Structure 1
């Protein structure tokens, strides 16, 4: 695959902000022709850089979001914990990380009480030794 250049990165950022932008709008924003932008987007899709287009919900009810910082119990790993997390619809994303924390889990709940219940459920999973909860106060940038 061809290395990403500045225009590729700008197209990706624009699409992350609004995946419904037309090819003409994208072309104007990056200073290329419509056909050149179409070719670049097709290449980014075919190479797997762009995996999918999705919908990000707006603030119509702003659910409470929080990061759960998980630490595995001795002898357990991501493979042991992931099936339990995947079964929860409130789990938005999971990231395996290095350091004192083993996994970052972004969750969503309607109320603080529901977040507390979710946190307790995750803390009770087999293979989880510790959970730290970091509620999201405000999202400043999300792509």
Structure 2
């Protein structure tokens, strides 16, 4: 296949953003005829540049939730960690608890990758010694309080 030009790259970007765009909409966006766009997309598919069309879940799907079980590093407490957690919109609930775990933190993310990034970010906080992640498979009772 020949090198991708700016129009090919724009078509790919448009399709990555919304794979359901019609050929007419693509043509209008790149300033070519419908048939020229159809040929380009077919060429990109045939060459393997476009391997498949897929669905990416947005905010309309159920978000992923996980409980993060935090242990503080020696000399640190809830007062040290909470200001950092409050700054993260994905943190839904924090419970300071007694026992081997110091804090239970309920987090929410749109994708597994976002959940992993959030977990790593919290694990890197000064004052956090260990994080155990427990993904929520199903909520069987939530009385909202």
TM over 0.5: yes
Q: Give the corresponding residue for 1:65.
A: 65
Q: TM-score, normalised by structure 2?
A: 0.58
In 1, the alpha carbon distance for the partners of 2:75 and 2:121 equals: 20
Q: Secondary structure in 2 aligned to 1:93?
A: strand
TM-score (norm 1): 0.58
| Number of residues of Structure 1 aligned to a counterpart in Structure 2 | 85
> Counterparts of 1:135 and 1:60 in 2: how far apart (Å)?
19
Q: Which runs of 4+ in 1 moved over 4 A?
A: none
1:111 is aligned to 111
Shift of 1:138: 0.3
Tell me the secondary structure at the aligned position of residue 100 of structure 1: coil
Shift of 1:101: 0.2
Q: What's the CA shift string for 1:8-41, capped at 9, x where partnerless? A: xxxxxxxxxxxxxxxxxxxxxxxxxxxxxxxxxx
Q: Tell me the distance in 2 between the aligned counterparts of 1:137 and 1:60.
A: 18
1:141–1:60 distance in 2 versus 1, CA, 3 Å: farther
1:124 is aligned to: 124
Q: Name the residue aligned to 2:90.
A: 90
Instruction: Write out aligned runs for 1:9-24 (5 A).
Output: none
Aligned partner of 1:6 in structure 2 is none
Q: For the aligned residues, what is the CA RMSD?
A: 1.1
Gaps spanning 5+ residues in structure 2: where? 1-58
CA apart distance, 1:117: 0.2
Which protein is bigger by CA-based radius of gyration? Answer: 2
Does residue 78 (structure 1) correspond to residue 84 (structure 2)? The answer is no
Q: Distance in 1 between matches of 2:138 and 2:60?
A: 15
Rounded to whole Å, the distance in 1 between the matches of 2:128 and 2:72 is: 5
Where in structure 1 are there 5+ consecutive unaligned residues? Answer: 1-58
| CA-CA distance at 1:60 after TM superposition | 4.2
